[in-house]
Structure 1
């Protein structure tokens, strides 16, 4: 990582009050679970890295556009997944906030519960916090997601020729919402 890149990332971390972050290869800020107060994960099944697929979804709930609101929303999603659905942790590998930050769910190495039995063991699940049936996420959220995917390739978690799929491409659902689905279909890595 270049010195300039490292200084820029750490300046942002200091501004946002993030004590620790996964900033290998200058991927941009990733808010660790303990920073948004996720409870200790009980998940044990690891992914065989690198994976070929990324499944993009939306939470279909409230959006968030500040770090404080996004931390709360990540906690809400985590609570719903762990308490109501009985998951061992939040179901996604990463959550994207409208504040332009990435919130770590299960991370790169742990199998998620985001796209069904066939897809969970072979994909990374990223979700945009909000409902994107009628609107798209703001540009900073899209940039955060694309930076995260480049980071995954740089770290060896994603194959260089990875494929992006919408949640509705792998399960019967309206996720990731009509507008976000239209947008990801324009990404060069999209394969429906």
Structure 2
């Protein structure tokens, strides 16, 4: 009972902070204030980082989640709130070497963020969550923010990207189970609609992601949809 109360209180504080932060940002826009170069980005980043540090561990007790602050994420240049609950869940692969331990996985996730921001010109790492082969989940955009993962559906869905390439073999059971548990956790928290639709990245965009083996695997998952949204 005490644990539930603490989690509920922490969640409420996060939501209040997000509302206040967004009002501050909107107030600056409305006032059309003259600011130093990069000041708007700083405002977005500050709100984002503080909100991230207030995130509650233990919200998904059956999943090991590494928050952005723990893997050393760079601050985003822009943040947009995602309208919840989302109706779509997309499965991706990063098409990078896989990783199985905290040190290499943190480095891999940081490399992906740097590539997304520096090379692709995104405001942040594109995926909602990234999944290591040992079943650890790395927070990307998280539940509450619009990502840049699935063209045409970023504002309506979240994406789990398995770290690695899965054309010939699917991810280990630990990784697959972690994503299933995360989706259920998202439903219980009101982040994902109970009647959500599950898709592979290739179902809606011209890509080989999430790889043939992983794509065939998710066909067996609950809520996989054979009809395009």
For the structure 1 residues 70 and 2, does the alpha-carbon distance in structure 2 shift closer, same or farther, using more than 3 Å as the test?
farther
Q: Where does residue 162 of structure 2 map in the other structure? A: 128
Aligned pairs, how many? Answer: 175
Q: Following the alignment from structure 2 to structure 1, what is the Cα–Cα distance between the partners of residues 81 and 220?
A: 30
SS in 2 for 1:39: coil
Task: Quote the offset at 1:185 in angstroms.
Answer: 0.6
- Runs of 4+ in structure 1 off by over 2 angstroms are none
Q: CA deviation at 1:40?
A: 1.2
Which structure is larger by alpha-carbon Rg, 1 or 2?
2
The answer (yes or no) to whether the contact 1:153–1:159 under 8 Å persists in 2 is yes
Q: Select the structure that is richer in helix.
A: 2
> Which of residues 179, 182, 206 is equivalent to 1:145?
179
Rounded Cα–Cα distance in structure 2 between residues aligned with 1:188 and 1:93: 20
**Would you say 1:94 and 2:129 are equivalent positions?**
yes
TM-aligned CA deviation for residue 25 of structure 1: 4.8
If asked which structure has higher relative contact order (CA below 8 Å, sep 6+), I would say 1
Q: Residue by residue, what CA displacement relative to the aligned partner does 1:81-119 show, whole Å, maximum 9, x if unpaired?
A: 011001111000100001210000000010010010x21
**TM-score with structure 2 setting the length:** 0.73
Post-superposition CA distance 1:130-169 (Å, at most 9, x none): 0001110000000111111111101100001111100000
**SS of alignment partner, residue 98 of structure 1:** coil
Task: Give the whole-Å Cα distance in 1 for the aligned partners of 2:105 and 2:85.
Answer: 28
Q: Does 1:178 align with 2:212?
A: yes
Quick one: structure 1 residues 99 and 21, their matched pair in 2 at CA, closer, same or farther if it must change by over 3 Å? farther
Point out where structure 1 has 5 or more consecutive residues left out of the alignment: 4-19
Contact 1:162 1:189 in 2 (8 A): yes
Counterpart of 1:39 (choices 47, 50, 74) is 74
**Equivalents in 1 of 2:78, 2:86: separation in Å?**
18
Aligned to 1:8: none
